[in-house]
Amino acid sequence: MFRTTSTTATSKKDNTDSGPLEGITVVSLEQAVAAPFCTRQLADLGARVIKVERPQVGDFARGYDTRVNGLASHFVWINRSKESLALDVKNPKDHDVLMRLVSRADVLVQNLAPGASTRLGLSHEALKEKYPSLIVCNISGYGEDGPYRDKKAYDLLIQSEAGMLSVTGSKDEPAKVGISIADISAGMYAYSNILTALMQRAKTGKGRKIDISMLECMVEWMGFPLYYTYGNTPGPARAGASHAAIYPYGLFNTGDGRQVMLGIQNEREWANFCEKVLRKPEIATDARFVNNSLRTQNRDALKDIIHDSFSALTAEEAIQLLETSSIANANVNSMHDVWEHPQLKARGRWTEVDTLKGVVPALLPPGFIDSNAQFGSVPGVGEHNDSIFKELGITKID
């Protein structure tokens, strides 16, 4: 099982180095994945992120599962380094606390139900005159206007609307992507837009509204299949773990009952693969396989040839042969394999974060290469109420 081998990052309270967003305060009315994923990126860069949650139950993602020492895997992943403030924002007194925080904030983020932020007086239009430097980022399923504005949106629903299921899965059955890819894409576009808005504000002194639509983020990532179908041509066929338009590129069985992943991107690699891996150089000039379009068209016949060759090899032997032949390849790893991945260990990409149930490992964010990563703990519901009330000069909320 995984054991931490690096402590590159340290707790915020113990680290005297300032992150690049030190001094930036983010107030976030967030739940589930999209907004929390965005604000965790900001927190990792040193921003102060105050997560506003419902009293007692908190963000409903806290209850998704209990896989991390009794805590939810989603929540532990995307909520470190935040302060949790439990408020009933429909209660006038609690709402007043929220508005006091907003008055001090640099960024306001929300992914509440459609229309909820407007009803709470948290729209950019309601706040911009009083707080002209405030950046307001709204994350929703379909955006702030249009016929789908009020439609409920969850990750799988957005994957379906964006056409993801039409290109993912097997020939006989569509499949969702195994992670919350629509939420993650929205969170990352919110994050990059907020960074851009902060840069713009440094020049102009003015905040701005950011309107992030999960559908638009997901459709942007669907650019290849969209253009592939340009002019009303047929779309890419669902190809399971293979590539719809490049072959051989995908999973292939080995003699020990396992699989390996390989990919051929050009004709030079194809000839090399036939000679050094299949040890059948004549296959390279077979009329069925002389270019990628024909290999894709005749993939079933080629797959049989590759499987026949690999049947005498273990997965480890096949990977080694592909590697020495300069053919792109990959292990078919489980999550347990990823915990132990030698490349992540060699690069010191693991650190630790505190939770209410003890220390757990955490991956350093991509791009972090020094000791400035400042990771605070994963908070409990309302853990920071007292300290934030004290900061605001509030002694009691009835």
Question: Quick one: how far is CA 398 from the chain centroid?
Answer: 39
Residue 142 is classified by DSSP as S
Annotation says 243 is catalytic: yes
CATH superfamily entry for domain 12-223+350-392: Crotonobetainyl-coa:carnitine coa-transferase; domain 1 (3.40.50.10540)
> pTM of the entire structure?
0.89
Q: Is the peptide bond before 248 cis (omega within 30 degrees of 0)?
A: yes
Please say whether the beta carbons of 210 and 135 come within 8 A: yes
Q: Would you say the CATH fold of 259-331 matches that of 12-223+350-392?
A: no
> Which residues face 263 on adjacent strands?
249, 328
- CA dist 10 and 3 (Å) reads 17
Catalytic residue among 243, 307, 336, 341: 243
Residue 160 is classified by DSSP as H
Burial class (CB in 10 A: 0-12, 13-18, 19+), 293: exposed
Looking at domain 259-331, its CATH architecture is 2-Layer Sandwich (3.30)
The percent of the chain in helix, strand and coil, each rounded to the nearest 5, is 40, 15, 45
Q: Please give the chain's pLDDT, 398 residues, in tens.
A: 433 334 444 445 444 467 899 999 999 999 999 999 999 999 999 999 999 999 999 999 999 999 999 999 999 999 999 999 999 999 999 999 999 999 999 999 999 988 899 999 999 999 999 999 999 999 999 999 999 999 999 999 999 999 999 999 998 999 999 999 999 999 999 999 999 999 999 999 999 999 999 999 999 999 999 999 999 998 888 888 888 889 999 999 999 999 999 999 999 999 999 999 999 999 999 999 999 999 999 999 999 999 999 999 999 999 999 999 999 999 999 999 999 999 999 999 999 999 999 999 999 999 887 655 658 999 999 999 999 999 999 876 55
- CA dist 35 and 190 (Å) reads 8
Every domain of the chain and the residues it spans: 12-223+350-392, 259-331
